[in-house]
Structure 1
């Protein structure tokens, strides 16, 4: 397997940055889209909140699992 020229933590930070940028961009267009489709503003905000909480929990669990089991392929 070919090794990257960048240290593994740097690649993790780049991946996290891209994920967070994508998450922010997504929230910027999904709310107006849902409201245009007839969803109330309150329901759209609740949906985005539930999504955000789910992402936080999943990110924490994935970190714990990687610390416990190690990254895949290593």
Structure 2
């Protein structure tokens, strides 16, 4: 139970952190690397990047837990 709580809190905190880092470092300079994500609606970009980060991290965690058990273990 505690492990699941730690996984959930990690994912919830890393999603916005990664989205902020992507926007902070990808939207600098004259020609931003992220292009259309660096417009006037950066809060929308932040929200979509956060949701995408949560989705990818959750999928990665589920794949990790699935293959961690191995082919012979069914728990």
TM-score under structure 2 length normalisation: 0.45
Q: Which has the higher contact order (CA 8 A, sep 6+)?
A: 2
